[in-house]
Amino acid sequence: MLPVGYSETLLPELLSEFPPGIELVRLSDPLDHDVHVEVWVPDAYPSRAIRTWPHLRGVKLVLALVAGTEWLPGLVGPQVTICNAQGAHNISTAEWTIAVILGMLKNFPLFFDIQKSGRWKRRFELPAHYAKITGDTRPLYPPVMLEELTGKTVLLVGYGSIGKDIERMLAPFRVEVLRVARKARSEPRVHAIADLHKLIPQAHAIVLIVPSTAETRWLIDAPQFAVMRQGALLVNAARGPVVNTEALVAALQSGRIRAALDVTDPEPLPDGHPLWSCPNLFITPHVGGSSPQFSPNAVRIAAAELRRYMNGEPLHNVVQIGV
């Protein structure tokens, strides 16, 4: 029997997804004794998984329940094969992205403040807000209370499976989509990351959905903010370090851009951090992938990888091959 260690946080009904021929080993937190398992399905929260790892022996394969596994190689070392759960939170993350783009263009954060104040006449703050953030000072009548997504240009920085789902969900809005990935491709047209600087000025919304790597650290920094169009919306659904936080704070405080973040650097964002009080900013606490469908999707992906491993077949979502 193949010993497979799993976190006690997994719902019991999800265990039926795993194939026969294995011994499921429940790993409590904290774990106070050593356990031998060949395959480890760690907790989705890195802090819990990190506490568990020192007590595991014989691990050859890690089946992560999340797509972001940048913390795992340093934990388990190069001898262990790591697979991620690519696809587990595509829908929820893509929906979060569409929601915040619409919410920011429709001024929902400001309307919520108006609702809490109980003062209907505060609606007349919106024309000045629109003029300040976009630079459009024409005497428009009726006054502008919100903006339209339809017809705008959206730059997708990262064109993996989540980026493709975001584009699919954007289709009804008839936006122009600019795509960026590590390497250029022709069909559909995908630009290389080297083209990012010249594409940024064209975009009304810039969506970050890249992994956190040495190459993507501070991909968006002061030079990139400097060439963003007035009123551009930066959406970070990737990882906090993809953006230089100090440069982001400066850009927001200048009133030139707006942003929606599901991730920050540092994270968790400390009490009193300057980001909390920045104008034109909406923050959610790294919840973009969190939905009732997340765990079932992730376990099904892990179970499929486990079947392939047991059958000697190539694994699909390998991010590190053990040496």
Distance in angstroms (rounded) separating the CA atoms of residues 122 and 47: 44
Dihedral (Cα; 40, 41, 47, 50), 10-degree rounding: 0
- Out of 239, 256, 258, 305, the active site residue is 239
Active-site residue flag, 239: yes
Q: Please name the residue that has the structure tokens 């600019």.
A: 178
Helices 90-105 and 161-170: angle between axes, nearest 10 degrees: 50
Amino acid at the residue 316: H
* Residue position matching structure tokens 């920045």: 278
Query: Pick from 179, 171, 221: which is nearest to 199 by CA?
Result: 179
Which DSSP string do the residues of 196-265 spell out, in sequence order? HHHHGGG-SEEEE-----TTTTTSB-HHHHHHSPTT-EEEE-S-GGGB-HHHHHHHHHTTS-EEEES--S
Q: Mark whether 13 is an active-site residue.
A: no
Fill in the amino acid letter for 118.
G
Alpha helices, DSSP H, located in 34-143: 46-52, 72-76, 90-105, 108-117, 126-134
Catalytic residue, chosen from 48, 122, 129, 286, is 286
Cis peptide before 266 (omega within 30 of 0): yes
Q: Active site residue: 148, 215, 267, 313, which one?
A: 267
Calpha distance 54→95 (Å, rounded): 37
Contact 283, 275 (CB under 8 A): yes
- Determine whether 286 is an active site residue: yes
The upper half-sphere exposure of residue 18, i.e. CA atoms within 13 Å in the direction of its Cβ, equals: 22
Q: Are 105 and 129 in contact (CB under 8 A)?
A: no
The length of the chain in residues reads: 323
Question: What is the rounded CA–CA span in Å between residue 287 and residue 159?
Answer: 21
Q: Could you give the residue numbers annotated as active site?
A: 239, 267, 286
